[in-house]
Structure 1
Amino acid sequence: MNRLTLVHLTFLGMGKPPAAVEFSPGLTVIYGASDRGKSYVEEAVDYMLGASELKSIPEDEGYTRILLGLRVSDGRTLTLSRAVGGDTIEVFNHDLRSAPSEPADATLAYKHHPKSQKNISRYLLNVLGIDGRRILQNSRGDVVPLNFRDLARLVVVNDTRMADQRSPVLGTRIPQNETKEKSVFKLLLSGQDEPERPTAPSKLEKQFGKGKIAVIDHLIDENREKLTIEANQSQLREQLGRVQSSLGEVTAAAGGIAATRSSLLLRRRELESGDADNQQRVGEVQQLLSRFMLLREQYESDLARLQMVGEAGTLLGYFQTGTCVFCGAERQHQHPEHHLAETTQLAAAVSAETRKTTDLHSDLIIMIEDLEDQAATLDASRALHAEQLAQNSEELRSLDQRMEPLNADTTELLAARSRLEHELAVHAQIEQLEDLKASLSSAPPAPPTARPDNIPAADIADFESMIHETLEAWQVPGDNRVTYDPTSAEISVDGRPRKSRGRGMRSIIHAAFAVSLARRNTARGLIHPGFVVLDTPVLTYRRPEDPVEAQPELMTHDVVENFYRDLLDNPSGQVIVIENPTPPKSISSRAAVYPFSVDGSDRQGFFPPRDRD
């Protein structure tokens, strides 16, 4: 179940500076002088939650639109936008602080309508996850869907209702609404909807009752003919349980085999991929070897030709000193460099080319031998892959053979389960027809008396204990023994009804009622919007022994101190307190505090001061 947190309240107007207040997700305190717009904040929040009107004050002149930011406990952020005096509320699915420039995500009426979703009440109930919950409308027992306004009256409490003599449960002061308001409180305390009340058959149903029974008998006979297994429902359920158990075992076994088969297929893909890589590499090596063998033959041919040139030169005497074979000059008549160009250079060239070609030939032989080694390694790897693939195929065949009987068993068990479920469905249909026949044959029971005060005693005791703990934490004088009368909706403390107490005690008890309800329902996962707005909860409280305190706006210090401390130390969700007196200084670092028109405050009120000519 979701909860809501108020994020901000912002007023906008053409040519007007925004008037806004940012709410803490825990405690927010707005205090200060009268007529500064403190209570107007509470009234504006209520207006944005579907109240019909917002009474104007002089300070709001020129402001035409109100924005209320909301945060949902599931993480969503919403902004409600309503014109001052408008009948529709626009919803934006984000945090909006200025005049919208884009169309709204939803446009809703402010009035609740049980048959339409397009109103703020149904929208907020849907956000909270409680739309459609039922409450009593009147003592006749008519049941109606819950309205968000029924919740708002319990969590947004103005200063008049705070000290009113009527019970906090009865918020509208309209006697005709008492049944509904008590039923709402019953729903919050117990979490239980009002049941739909049985109705007597109509005249048409009575007129055709006998004919319906005959038709139902015929349908029962037809369904009984569909039964093929001689067993009752209990036996069929036992058989179905055994089939389900067997099916689970077979499925588990098949799942194990399937997992093993998947791993084998993955291994097979790896082997095939590796074999493909090897095959590609073998092709590359064979291609290189073929080219290198041709190059080897070329080198060997070149060496043979160089050897032939050397042998021919030796035979012809080109490489010997003495009489020049070219010109016939004797050695002593030859120029010192006579043979350099003709003989020595030729011999040197042949020798150098021979060495170069021999070195290249040797390097090529090494490369050829390395490639031949790689080819042999690749062939061995391919042979290993082929062996592993063959083994993998054999394992897959073995798994497939093991899977065949499991598949057959699964098919048979599924068919058996289907037959049993069909038989049980037919039995259930026959039971429904027989129940319908019995309802038509017997007189309808008298509708039970509608009791909005029929709250479980355990829930009442739990709520009484929660209020007692709250009053004790605030150190309100007395034993603070709390009782709640569901018939009158009256709360009594120490044996005295709240309506008989003074204004200050009525306010304290009402505040404890609202805080305890939020605290209890939030802790127990029961229905509650998630926030509480209290206007003047402790302003008029005084010590019992000081009935004529000199400054009545200064309430008993210890109660006020403990009131704020408890709201901070034991949070019930979000609480917004509106008061006149200055709260304790100790809360300023832990709560959002807004002083209006007090010494040292930055704000004169909720609205910025108007320009004066």
Structure 2
Amino acid sequence: MERLTLLHLTFIGPTVSPATVEFGPKLTLVRGPSDTGKSYIADTIDFMLGSKTLEDIPERDGYDTVLLGLRLPDGEPVTLARSTQGGGFRLFRGDHRAYPLPVDSTSKSAKHSPKNTTNLSHYLLDKIGLGRKVIRKNGRGQTISLSLRALAPLFLVGETKIQAKTPPAVTGQHTQRTGEISTFRLLLQGEDDSAVEPGESETERHTSEAAKNDVIDTLLTELYEQLQTDETLQQVNERLQRLQATITESTGGIEETAAARQQWGKALSNSERLAAAARRSLTELDTLDARFKLLHEQYTSDLDRLEAVAEAGTLLGYFTPGRCVFCGAEPEHQHLNEDCADDTTALGESVREEQRKTTALRDDLLQAIAGLRAERDEKAQRLQGYTDDAAQARTTIARLDDILNPQERELNDLLTLSSQLERDAESIRHIQRLEALRPDIEAGPKPEVMAPTAGLQRSAVDDLSRMIAVRLRAWGFHDGDSTSYSFDDQDLVSGNQPRSAHGKGVRAILHAAFTISLAQYCFDRDLPHPGFVVLDSPLVVYRPPDPNDEPDNSDDVLDTANLADRFFADVQTNFSGQIIILENEDPPNALEPETRDISFTKNADHGRYGLFPHNQANDTGGGNTTGGDGR
């Protein structure tokens, strides 16, 4: 039958070395201490098969792309590439594990669509013989196109799901139960629901209960599509509280820096204003100084002319008493202002008087110039001080901007994430309120509907149940002989108790047996199946390292040493497909040579540290932290 094979999972980035986990064709065991990135492998495989988001962790810094190498049923290797931020996929022919990636690629949408075949879900389902299959989505017989996301929980089981109390084949969501059982039926019997016709007439479809359920189903579908997380409301609220605390802290730092910048901005504005006023005053003083200089030159020129007049008059005797230089009259015969029009002695006195006045004016002017220039020097010193203050303010503002800009960008990112989490929380609350309406609706008269298990053959369920019991016995599970799969409850029963009544250790073992047995059931009967199984922590849930700690529930702990030994022996010899196990504990005995054994040591000086290379800058004692206890 057509199967896929996982070749490798690789993180790449432009400035970091690739972080690669290579998978073997049969069993791949990734083991090591908690918080080394084991569960992140399962999460990333799920992300590369269409999950919406991948958790961002510090160790992933520098890696911007995830590569998933696949071998198609025809033997051709291909590589899926997706941004770590999500979005669509690029499909490359060949096996690629580093930059640069080839130029030629095919785009594949992450969202399944029955009308548009250019999506990853349709591409991979078509490769394993499940393309264009349909499943029932509700009791009225309405069908939807099978998606890879609907199929994934049956072959890829994370740490939370493997320990959960919900049955292995379902999630516990009421609106999804029919579709989940129909998907299980498709694998178990190789039959889809394309032959199913809606059993209700148009009149019955418009009855009050059906109409209300239609509205609720539609609203729930829209709400689920809007959700950007698979977390519970409590988990979202806890994340939101932590994020809001971070936002408050970040806002306080920004406000403090912004207040300091505002003060320095005011100081800069004041310094620039004072400097501008000082420059204007200096310009006015320079203009006045230039005018005074011209006036001084004029006074000096006047004095030079008066001096020349005085010297000429003296040389010619104009200003000495005696014979008149103009008419030749002797002093006794001179009749001032009558016979002679000019009095040379009076003229000389006038010249000397004018010299005294002009000299006095020039002296006054020199004093004014000296005062003016003293005032200019003082204002020039003030201007220099204002200029220095402005320069210091600009330097300080630039430094504060260098601090403030990254803080504001980080705050914007935090606010964006907070808004998304608030929307997710509101969507989950809407979902819970809508789910709470169903009991009131179901209390009224109900039209006949198809049971979720309609079409599921009891004989097929019984065959799978026997395979599960045989496998549990092979593992040495103490209640293997009394374990079966309940057709009515669609859950495992062990030791006369439903799986949900056992502790999480037993629940994990039973879920692992179901998933592995379902895959082998398909292989044995040549039925469609992806061809591989991924199990996170099937044997031992994470516990504190102190061996004296006692577990809260005795059912949580099995004889894990013996069970693990037989478990690995069984999956290496009695499983026909590819299986990837992520575990905290080392296997008790040596593994087969063809098994790929990957050990994460969480020791920077010994072996492989974890999924990502050891980074001392990010190492705070938690290693490759990815959340959850068993990671």
Q: TM-score range by the shorter chain?
A: 0.5 to 0.7
Aligned residues: 363
1:391-406 matched pairs, under 5 angstroms: none
Distance 2:84 2:200 in 1: 50
Conservation of the 8 A alpha-carbon contact between 2:77 and 2:95: yes
> 1:574 is aligned with what amino acid?
Q
Distance 1:501 1:200 in 2: 39
Distance 1:562 1:517 in 2: 19
1:25-104 matched pairs, under 5 angstroms: 25-104=25-104
> 2:612 is aligned with what amino acid?
F
Q: Which moved more, 1:14-23 or 1:127-136?
A: 127-136
Offset of residue 554 of structure 1? 9.3
Distance 1:472 1:201 in 2: 46
Distance 1:47 1:135 in 2: 23
Distance 2:120 2:84 in 1: 16
Partner of 2:339: none
Offset of residue 180 of structure 1? 0.6
Conservation of the 8 A alpha-carbon contact between 1:197 and 1:448: no
Distance 1:587 1:38 in 2: 19
Cα distance change, pair 492–13 in 1 and its aligned pair in 2 (3 A): same
Offset of residue 83 of structure 1? 0.8
Cα distance change, pair 199–518 in 1 and its aligned pair in 2 (3 A): closer
Partner of 1:602: 607
Cα distance change, pair 183–573 in 1 and its aligned pair in 2 (3 A): same
1:541-560 matched pairs, under 5 angstroms: 556-560=560-564
C-alpha deviations, 1:293-347, integer Å up to 9, x for none?
A: xxxxxxxxxxxxxxxxxxxxxxxxxxxxxxxxxxxxxxxxxxxxxxxxxxxxxxx
4+ aligned runs moved over 4 Å, structure 1? 199-203, 546-555, 598-601
Offset of residue 104 of structure 1? 3.9
Cα distance change, pair 558–23 in 1 and its aligned pair in 2 (3 A): same
Offset of residue 129 of structure 1? 2.0
Distance 1:153 1:578 in 2: 16
Partner of 1:169: 169
Offset of residue 540 of structure 1? 3.5
Partner of 1:462: 463
Partner of 2:538: 537
* Aligned with residue 593 of structure 1, among 592, 597, 602: 597
Q: Does 1:523 align with 2:527?
A: no
Offset of residue 580 of structure 1? 0.8
Conservation of the 8 A alpha-carbon contact between 1:182 and 1:453: no
Offset of residue 200 of structure 1? 8.9
Conservation of the 8 A alpha-carbon contact between 2:150 and 2:180: yes
Distance 1:199 1:130 in 2: 22
Normalization by structure 1: what TM-score?
0.56
Q: CA RMSD in A?
A: 2.8
Distance 2:587 2:152 in 1: 26
Distance 2:549 2:186 in 1: 42
> 2:80 is aligned with what amino acid?
L
Q: Does 1:570 align with 2:569?
A: no
Distance 1:200 1:139 in 2: 9
Distance 1:473 1:10 in 2: 35
Cα distance change, pair 85–104 in 1 and its aligned pair in 2 (3 A): farther
Offset of residue 126 of structure 1? 1.1
Conservation of the 8 A alpha-carbon contact between 2:16 and 2:63: yes
Distance 1:202 1:564 in 2: 54
1:174-573 matched pairs, under 5 angstroms: 174-198=173-197, 449=450, 451-540=452-541, 556-573=560-577
Offset of residue 495 of structure 1? 2.1
C-alpha deviations, 1:398-418, integer Å up to 9, x for none?
A: xxxxxxxxxxxxxxxxxxxxx
Cα distance change, pair 90–548 in 1 and its aligned pair in 2 (3 A): same
Offset of residue 197 of structure 1? 3.6
Distance 2:56 2:25 in 1: 28
Normalization by structure 2: what TM-score?
0.54
Cα distance change, pair 202–477 in 1 and its aligned pair in 2 (3 A): closer
| SS across alignment from 1:492 | strand
Cα distance change, pair 188–120 in 1 and its aligned pair in 2 (3 A): same
Offset of residue 82 of structure 1? 0.5
Q: Which moved more, 1:30-39 or 1:593-602?
A: 593-602
Conservation of the 8 A alpha-carbon contact between 1:27 and 1:574: yes
Distance 1:554 1:493 in 2: 14
Distance 1:575 1:29 in 2: 8
Offset of residue 491 of structure 1? 1.2
Cα distance change, pair 89–165 in 1 and its aligned pair in 2 (3 A): same
Q: Does 1:582 align with 2:583?
A: no
Distance 1:43 1:200 in 2: 39
Partner of 2:629: none
Offset of residue 71 of structure 1? 0.8
Partner of 1:15: 15
Cα distance change, pair 201–150 in 1 and its aligned pair in 2 (3 A): closer
Offset of residue 457 of structure 1? 1.8
| SS across alignment from 1:480 | helix
Cα distance change, pair 516–202 in 1 and its aligned pair in 2 (3 A): closer
| SS across alignment from 1:504 | helix
| SS across alignment from 1:526 | coil
| SS across alignment from 1:184 | helix
Offset of residue 449 of structure 1? 3.4
Partner of 2:130: 130
Conservation of the 8 A alpha-carbon contact between 2:470 and 2:480: no
Offset of residue 479 of structure 1? 4.5
Partner of 1:5: 5
Offset of residue 13 of structure 1? 0.7
| SS across alignment from 2:590 | helix
> 1:38 is aligned with what amino acid?
K
Conservation of the 8 A alpha-carbon contact between 2:485 and 2:493: yes
Offset of residue 550 of structure 1? 8.5
Distance 2:558 2:59 in 1: 27
C-alpha deviations, 1:136-185, integer Å up to 9, x for none?
A: 111121011211111111111111001100001013x4221011101111
Conservation of the 8 A alpha-carbon contact between 2:64 and 2:84: yes
Offset of residue 524 of structure 1? 0.8
Conservation of the 8 A alpha-carbon contact between 1:37 and 1:607: yes
Q: Unaligned regions of 5+ residues in structure 2, if any?
A: 203-446, 615-631
Cα distance change, pair 582–93 in 1 and its aligned pair in 2 (3 A): same
> 2:65 is aligned with what amino acid?
R
| SS across alignment from 2:473 | helix
Conservation of the 8 A alpha-carbon contact between 2:142 and 2:198: no
Conservation of the 8 A alpha-carbon contact between 2:112 and 2:120: yes
Partner of 1:378: none
Conservation of the 8 A alpha-carbon contact between 2:181 and 2:452: no
Distance 2:565 2:462 in 1: 28
> 2:190 is aligned with what amino acid?
G
Cα distance change, pair 551–22 in 1 and its aligned pair in 2 (3 A): farther
